[in-house]
Amino acid sequence: MLPPVFGVLFDGIAYGMLLFVLSVGLSVTLGLMNFVNLAHCAFAMLGGYVTVTLVNELQWPFLATLPVSFLAAAAASVVLERLFYRRLYRASDLDQVLLTIGFAFISVAAAAYVFGTIQQPIQTPPFLRGSTGFLGLGLSNYRMFLVGIALVVTLLLVAGLEYTRFGAQVRAAVDNQRMARGLGIDVDRTFAVTFALGSGLAGLGGSLAIDIVGLDPSFAFTYLVYVLIIVSVGGLGSIVGSFAAACLIGISDVAGKYYAPELGAFLIYLVMVAVLMWKPAGLFGRR
């Protein structure tokens, strides 16, 4: 029999995995271009609403909607990247912040207009409901599924970065952009593709998040805070860093809410400020 602390740990890790899927795309694109995209969670929210619409209006099975939400978020990001982001790659932090906060505001208003401000219900398939007993702990099936998906995503990402030609280009560009350009790598194109993939993953994360944290128009800002914390704690451009930071923040948040509810959201902000004071570039960052 395991003591309940393991249950909290498990929930924290599952939550961390969700945050990882939401944030890893932003980490890589930030590492590539130093582009501060505060609209990242707007793409996640888009994915969430795609899933809700397909499941509730068109009676699609939940799992079948996941690839669609990935593609929808990726497609939306390509359009924005082409029309707007591209022109601000070399602009100041402030301009990037303003533009992308603008998009986040627009997305929140648009979501409220179309779907209202209420929490969206979601129907998950039967095998993802309920929980499974394990050494005296009741582990939620959905959270186990979440951990599984996150591990698959991590493996795909790490393998993709390590063993594909495109991955090598991304690594080179993150490492030293000037040299990568010198070697004839089209960094802007690499960025556009990475940006689409990262936003797609955010969309997937948005769909997966509904069952755990719910979905309403404020999602674009509420989870932006978590995502930014993870990216800066983990270090820009580092997948391993994002993974570790997501676990740290996920566990801190769940454990904080469980053991010290009066602390509220303090704990994660304190963790962030403490890590950044100690290592300004994040746990795994090099700059």
Partner 1 sequence: MTQVTSSMTPQAYLKSLSRWRAAEIVFWLATLLPFFLFPSYLSLASQIALAALFALSLDIILGYAGVVSLGHAAFFGVGAYAAGIFSKMVWGEPLTGLLFGATLAGLLGYASSFIIARFRHLTLIMITLGLGLLAHEVANRAHWLTGGSDGLQGIEIWPVFGLFKFDLYGTTAYGYSLALLFIFFLASRRLLNSPFGLALRGIRENWVRMPAIGAERQAHIRKAYTIAAFMAGVAGAALAQTTESVSLESIGFQRSADVLVMLVLGGAGRLYGGLVGATIFMVARDQFSGIAPQYWYFWIGVLLVTVVMVLPNGILGGLSKLTARWRKP
* Separation of first and last alpha carbons in the chain: 45
Write out the DSSP string of 85-140: GGGGTTS-HHHHHHHHHHHHHHHHHHHHHHH-SSPPP----GGGSSEEEETTEEEE
Of 34, 131, 141, 177, the one binding partner 1 by CB under 8 A: 34
The answer to whether the CB of 192 falls within 8 A of the CB of 78 is yes
- Could you tell me the smallest distance in angstroms from the CB atom of residue 98 to partner 1? 5
Of 52, 72, 99, 197, the one binding partner 1 by CB under 8 A: 99
Of 9, 98, 128, 212, the one binding partner 1 by CB under 8 A: 98
Of 112, 128, 149, 212, the one binding partner 1 by CB under 8 A: 112
With contacts defined by CB under 8 A, name the span among 66-74, 111-119, 142-150, 188-196 that binds partner 1: 111-119
- Could you tell me the smallest distance in angstroms from the CB atom of residue 29 to partner 1? 12
Asked if residue 103 binds partner 1 (CB under 8 A), the reply is yes
With contacts defined by CB under 8 A, name the span among 7-15, 51-59, 92-100, 174-182 that binds partner 1: 92-100
- Could you tell me the smallest distance in angstroms from the CB atom of residue 275 to partner 1? 10
Asked if residue 177 binds partner 1 (CB under 8 A), the reply is no
Asked if residue 110 binds partner 1 (CB under 8 A), the reply is yes
- Could you tell me the smallest distance in angstroms from the CB atom of residue 159 to partner 1? 28
Q: How many CB atoms lie within 10 A of CB 130?
A: 10
Rg, C-alpha atoms of the chain: 19
Closest CA to 21 of 265, 227, 285: 227
Distance CA 233, CA 243 (A): 10
With contacts defined by CB under 8 A, name the span among 3-11, 106-114, 167-175, 202-210 that binds partner 1: 106-114
Residues 6 or more apart in contact with residue 87 via CB below 8 angstroms: none
- Could you tell me the smallest distance in angstroms from the CB atom of residue 249 to partner 1? 12
Size of the site for partner 1 (CB under 8 A): 46
The answer to whether the CB of 56 falls within 8 A of the CB of 233 is no
Asked if residue 175 binds partner 1 (CB under 8 A), the reply is no
Distance CA 16, CA 18 (A): 5
Q: How many CB atoms lie within 10 A of CB 278?
A: 8
**H or E segment at 216?**
none
Chain residues 213-232 in contact with partner 1, contact rule CB under 8 A: 217, 221, 225, 228-229, 231-232
Asked if residue 105 binds partner 1 (CB under 8 A), the reply is yes
Of 93, 162, 175, 186, the one binding partner 1 by CB under 8 A: 93
Asked if residue 73 binds partner 1 (CB under 8 A), the reply is no
Of 175, 259, 266, 286, the one binding partner 1 by CB under 8 A: 266
Distance CA 186, CA 95 (A): 24
